[in-house]
Amino acid sequence: MGHNKVINSVDIKQTRPYRLVTGSDDNCAAFFEGPPFKFKFTIGDHSRFVNCVRFSPDGNRFATASADGQIHIYDGKTGENVCALGGSKAHDGGIYAISWSPDSTHLLSASGDKTSKIWDVNVNSVVTTFTMGSNVLDQQLGCLWQKDHLLSISLSGYINYLDKNNPSKPLRVIKGHSKSIQDAHRLHHVSSLAWLDEHTLVTTSHDASVKEWTISY
C-alpha cells in the first residue's frame, strides 16, 4: 500500500534502522519502516511524477527527483524534509535520475533540460553543470556515480563519462544501443546502469537488447 498509480523507483536504506522509499506516478513518495517493511506515510512534496528515489550510502539522507524539476532531500531515518535543492527548481526540465557520491556529500542529477548537475547537498548549491547539447536526443535520462566515475545516459542511447574539469565535453562517449537506454537493475537498487564488477557494465534499451560492456581504464 502507499500508492494509487504505477511505482517508478524504489530504494532501501543500507544501514540500521532499515527504511524503504518508493516513488510513483501519483506524484508522491512513500516511506516504509522494517523489515518486514510496513507503510508509514506518504510524501507529497512534488507536483508531478516522482521518477527516482535514492538513499545516500551512509543512510543519513534520501533524495527524491521528479518531473516537476525538483529534488527534495529527507532525513534517512525519520523521512522529515530537510531541503529542496536549488530552491523552487533544481533543473529547468523534468529530472529522471539521481545518484549519490560514495561519501554521501554530493548528488548527481540527470534532466530532460539536457544537463546533468553535481550538487553539494550540505550547502545546497550546484558545484558543476554538464551541458550535454541542444538536440532533443541530448536529454539526460539516467546517471550513476561509481567511485571516481560519473556517467550519464542520453536519450540517444549514448553513455557519457562526465569530466568535472571540463563540463562542456565528456571524457568519452560509448555508443552501442540503437534506441534510448531505459532501465537496468543494479545489485542493490534499480538504476539506468548496472555494474557487475569493476570492469563490467550492463545496460538495457528500448531496442530490446541487453548489452554487457567491458570497461578498461
Rounded CA separation 118/130 (Å): 8
State mean pLDDT over 96-103: 96
Task: List all residues 6 or more positions away from 208 whose beta carbon is below 8 Å from its beta carbon.
Answer: none
Task: List all residues 6 or more positions away from 176 whose beta carbon is below 8 Å from its beta carbon.
Answer: 157, 159, 203, 211, 213
52 and 151 housed in the same domain: yes
Confidence bin at 209 (pLDDT 50/70/90): confident
Residue 192 lies in a domain: yes
- Report cis status (omega within 30 of 0) of the bond before 17: yes
What DSSP element (H or E) covers 210? strand 210-214
What's the pLDDT tens digit per position in 33-55? 999 999 999 999 999 999 999 99
97 and 190 housed in the same domain: no
What's the confidence (pLDDT) of residue 108? 98
152 and 203 housed in the same domain: no
Rounded CA separation 156/162 (Å): 16
Residue 141 lies in a domain: yes
Residue 172 lies in a domain: yes
148 and 200 housed in the same domain: no
> Which of 13-27, 48-62, 87-101, 143-157 has the weakest average pLDDT?
143-157
195 and 117 housed in the same domain: no
pLDDT > 90 fraction of the chain, expressed in percent and rounded: 76
What's the pLDDT tens digit per position in 169-183? 999 998 865 555 554
Confidence bin at 202 (pLDDT 50/70/90): confident
Rounded CA separation 89/91 (Å): 6
Q: Is residue 136 over pLDDT 50?
A: yes
What's the confidence (pLDDT) of residue 213? 79
Q: Model-level pTM?
A: 0.85
Residue 2 lies in a domain: no
Residue 1 lies in a domain: no
Residue 151 lies in a domain: yes
129 and 203 housed in the same domain: no
Domains identified in the chain, total number:
2
**Which structural domain range is residue 207 located in?**
184-216
Comparison of pLDDT for 216 and 94, the residue scoring more: 94
205 and 129 housed in the same domain: no
150 and 85 housed in the same domain: yes
